[in-house]
């Protein structure tokens, strides 16, 4: 054990042999390199949308200037840590002398670190203690660093940096995080008692509340200690959550800021969103959820996009208090599309010149033979309307004509068309979805839906959506044509046709705006999801309503669930627009208009792609291609041993057989549509009057 005199000479040697001091950053460098643990999502005008944590290793929020910190906190910290801070030049030699004397005589450690010395340790790890207490060499180097800091930093800068770098409690670093975490307020609003608690924490951030309370009382002996103790216990009694400074776009923030934690870029991320619109859309969805609360509707989402640029203006996923999955992002979640896919089906049929908007389609009971049995689609209201035009069939969302249209186009071409529009949920071969694809058996996200409809609004040209402004000098994405301009115009015109829509929805409904809009609703099986997606000349808006947990709603369709919210949003977007913005888009050159008289409908002026216009005012009904309906392809039949063979007959049936069509079983032509079955494998062929095979299937009799 060293004697006091030997220790003195040893300490002097440490002072004289201390290594050279490392350069410390200046105040402006420190501010420039400050990185909060929170990322800030800004709207297009720089308004704060969302604050979200991206750094799990530390909790520090915004840098706070000294002018924005309560004077009570500044006074309390100086009183607790460095009472002669305004007067010394980095080292309080009087306090240091007292500490040295105490340590010499009593051998009980006593610190004398000024705020400037502590700041040096916060700025550079080499000025911190390697163990619990600094040795003399470390202390001397810290003093040197503090003296150098005082030469280049102003006192206000030292105090400001110290309060932003100091750890106060747990992971709470910096005065902003501490004030928000412990008291849910900004540093400017800290009271005297709150300031005393924070000042008492600096020396020992993780001390027991009882010890902190004792120090708080020592800092303010003139105040009621019992009251200060109660305030301290209340502040330190649990977790220290930081409520986000803004919480308007949590789902988009999570999506966009995932990469920020791995980069050294600024954590202020500007988006294309409009904060005011974002707030309005969220309120509108919340209002609709409250209205539908009794019908087991707990979740909703909406996306608003600028047609020309693809910039996303609002991105909202909203849930009620009863939702069991409120963290889900309703914009990206995949749900069954329902009737919202029909416009792309009819657009394909128009483009391929298989149909026109005036083509008659049969809305009557239908049964289609498939590999898994008979597929018999029904209309939503279980009403059959007989002969209807394609315009009415699409605008009124009739199911049976849509399936007939898919028979015309074929499954594979329709699946390819959906993929071209950006629907990425087609993970299986088209036959996997079958003819139910016409009615929306595909799972799709609201994001996919909105951009697909935006492509229709842009005349069949597709570009990606944008969530952030383009980088300087960045090339604009080249539009991809996914549908002809002529057929895209026809679809938009039909979706805007209030009269054609009235067959199912009536003239008065949420889809009927006072200005030009093209819109489509959709409802999935068992009312688990409903949609309303539509566009004006300037904007595309999509709304989804349902339950993230997949439970069905109670009697809620697209027209009663999503449509009212859609109408409220699109009306707010056009509230101040002039008349020119509200007019329908001009027709494209490849179209012409002609007076027609559709069956069972009033005469009207109809648009046609040039070359598809009828030569007369009426024409025959469009039918799907002829196909064998029974027996089914691959079917296995069995003879009944209890029935005489001569009395056993197999009947053949076909959909839409032309006049003069007949049957061929294996190589033998049949005189009629019945055949006495024989054991073995057989091929049945449907042949037209000219001898051309129209369809064939294979089956077996055992």
- pLDDT interval class at 501 (50, 70, 90): very high
Predicted local distance difference test score (pLDDT) of residue 21: 56
What is the extent of the structural domain holding 10?
A: 4-33+60-235
649 has pLDDT over 60 = yes
Low-confidence winner among 298-302, 564-568, 651-655 (lowest mean pLDDT):
651-655
Q: What average pLDDT does range 78-103 have in this prediction? A: 72
Tell whether 437 and 304 lie within a shared domain: yes
8 has pLDDT over 50 = no
- pLDDT interval class at 631 (50, 70, 90): confident
314 SS3 class = strand
Number of domains in the chain: 4
Tell whether 483 and 599 lie within a shared domain: yes
Taken in order 511, 512, 514, 520, is the CA torsion positive or negative? positive
Residue 448 maps to which CATH number? 3.40.710.10
CA distance 545 to 440: 16
Predicted local distance difference test score (pLDDT) of residue 465: 97
Low-confidence winner among 27-41, 361-375, 494-508, 604-618 (lowest mean pLDDT):
361-375
CB 382 within 8 A of CB 342: no
**pLDDT by residue (tens digit) across 443-486?**
999 999 999 999 999 999 999 999 999 988 888 899 999 999 99
Tell whether 381 and 507 lie within a shared domain: yes
428 SS3 class = coil
**End position of a domain, from candidates 548, 578, 609:** 609
Tell whether 380 and 503 lie within a shared domain: yes
Predicted local distance difference test score (pLDDT) of residue 227: 94
Tell whether 372 and 457 lie within a shared domain: yes
Low-confidence winner among 128-137, 560-569, 597-606 (lowest mean pLDDT):
128-137
- pLDDT interval class at 622 (50, 70, 90): low
Tell whether 525 and 645 lie within a shared domain: no
- pLDDT interval class at 262 (50, 70, 90): low
| Polymer length of the chain | 702
Tell whether 149 and 95 lie within a shared domain: yes
Q: Is residue 271 part of a domain?
A: no
CB 338 within 8 A of CB 529: yes
Beta-carbon neighbour count of residue 658 at 10 Å? 15
- pLDDT interval class at 97 (50, 70, 90): low
Residue 78 maps to which CATH number? 1.10.3810.10
**pLDDT by residue (tens digit) across 545-561?**
999 999 999 989 889 99
Higher pLDDT, 13 or 166: 166
Residue 663 maps to which CATH number? 2.60.40
Tell whether 194 and 109 lie within a shared domain: yes
Tell whether 49 and 172 lie within a shared domain: no
- pLDDT interval class at 427 (50, 70, 90): confident
Tell whether 398 and 377 lie within a shared domain: yes
Whole-model pTM: value is 0.81
Tell whether 38 and 133 lie within a shared domain: no
What average pLDDT does the chain have?
87
CA distance 663 to 670: 5
């Amino acid at each position: 054990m060293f004697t006091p005199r030997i220790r003195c000479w040893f300490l002097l040697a440490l002072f004289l042999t201390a290594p050279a001091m490392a350069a410390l950053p200046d105040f402006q460098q420190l501010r420039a390199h400050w990185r909060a643990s929170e990322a800030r999502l800004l709207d297009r005008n720089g308004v704060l949308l969302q604050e979200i944590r991206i750094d799990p290793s530390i909790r520090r929020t915004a840098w706070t200037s000294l002018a924005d910190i309560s004077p009570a906190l500044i006074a309390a910290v100086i009183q607790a840590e460095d009472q002669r801070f305004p007067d010394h030049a980095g080292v309080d030699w009087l306090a240091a002398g007292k500490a040295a004397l105490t340590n010499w005589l009593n051998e009980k450690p006593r610190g004398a670190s000024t705020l400037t010395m502590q700041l040096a340790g916060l700025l550079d790890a080499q000025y911190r203690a390697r163990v619990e207490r600094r040795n003399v060499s470390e202390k001397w180097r810290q003093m040197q660093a503090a003296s150098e800091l005082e030469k280049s930093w102003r006192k206000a800068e030292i105090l400001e940096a110290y309060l932003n770098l100091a750890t106060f409690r747990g992971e709470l670093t910096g005065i902003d995080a501490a004030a928000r975490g412990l008291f849910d307020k900004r540093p400017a609003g800290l009271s005297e008692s709150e300031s005393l608690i924070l000042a008492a924490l600096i020396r020992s951030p993780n001390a027991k509340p009882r010890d902190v309370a004792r120090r708080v009382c020592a800092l303010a002996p003139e105040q009621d200690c019992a009251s200060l103790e109660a305030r301290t216990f209340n502040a330190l009694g649990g977790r220290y959550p930081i409520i986000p400074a803004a919480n308007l776009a949590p789902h988009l923030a999570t999506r966009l800021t995932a990469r920020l934690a791995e980069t050294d870029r600024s954590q202020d991320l500007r988006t294309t969103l409009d904060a005011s619109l974002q707030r309005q859309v969220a309120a509108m969805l919340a209002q609709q959820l409250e209205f539908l609360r009794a019908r087991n509707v707990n979740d909703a989402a909406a996306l608003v996009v600028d047609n020309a640029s693809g910039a996303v203006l609002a991105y909202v996923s909203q849930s009620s208090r009863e939702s069991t999955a409120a963290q889900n992002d309703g914009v990206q979640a995949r749900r069954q599309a329902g009737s919202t896919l029909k416009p792309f089906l009819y657009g394909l049929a128009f483009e391929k010149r298989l149909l026109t908007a005036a083509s008659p389609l049969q809305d009557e009971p239908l049964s289609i033979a498939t590999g898994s049995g008979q597929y018999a689609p029904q209309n939503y209201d279980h009403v059959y309307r007989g002969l209807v035009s394609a315009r009415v069939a699409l605008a009124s969302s009739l199911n049976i004509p849509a399936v007939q249209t898919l028979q015309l186009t074929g499954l594979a071409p329709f699946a390819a068309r959906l993929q071209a529009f950006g629907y990425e949920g087609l993970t299986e071969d088209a036959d996997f979805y079958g003819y139910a694809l016409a009615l929306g058996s595909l799972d799709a996200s609201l994001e996919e839906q909105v951009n697909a409809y935006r492509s229709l609004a842009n005349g069949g040209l597709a570009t990606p959506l944008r969530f952030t402004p383009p980088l300087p000098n960045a090339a604009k994405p080249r539009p991809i044509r996914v549908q002809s301009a002529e057929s895209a115009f026809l679809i938009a015109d039909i979706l805007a046709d209030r009269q054609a829509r009235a067959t199912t929805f009536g003239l008065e409904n949420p889809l009927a705006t006072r200005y030009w809009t093209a819109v489509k609703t959709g409802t999935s099986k068992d009312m688990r999801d409903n949609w309303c997606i539509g566009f004006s000349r300037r904007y595309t808006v999509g709304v989804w309503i349902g339950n993230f947990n997949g439970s069905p709603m109670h009697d809620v369709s697209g027209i009663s669930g999503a449509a009212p919210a859609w109408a409220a949003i699109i009306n707010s977007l056009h509230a101040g627009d002039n008349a020119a913005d509200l007019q329908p888009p001009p027709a494209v050159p490849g179209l012409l208009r002609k007076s027609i008289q559709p069956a069972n409908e009033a005469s009207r002026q109809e648009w046609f792609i040039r070359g598809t216009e009828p030569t007369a005012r009426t024409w025959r009904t469009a039918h799907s291609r002829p196909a064998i309906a029974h027996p089914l392809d691959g079917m296995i039949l069995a003879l009944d041993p209890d029935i005489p063979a001569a009395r056993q007959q197999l009947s053949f049936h076909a959909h839409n057989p032309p006049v003069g069509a007949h049957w061929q079983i294996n190589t033998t032509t049949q005189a009629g549509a019945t055949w006495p079955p024989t054991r073995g494998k057989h091929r049945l062929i449907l042949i037209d009057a000219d001898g051309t095979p129209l369809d064939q299937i294979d089956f077996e009799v055992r």
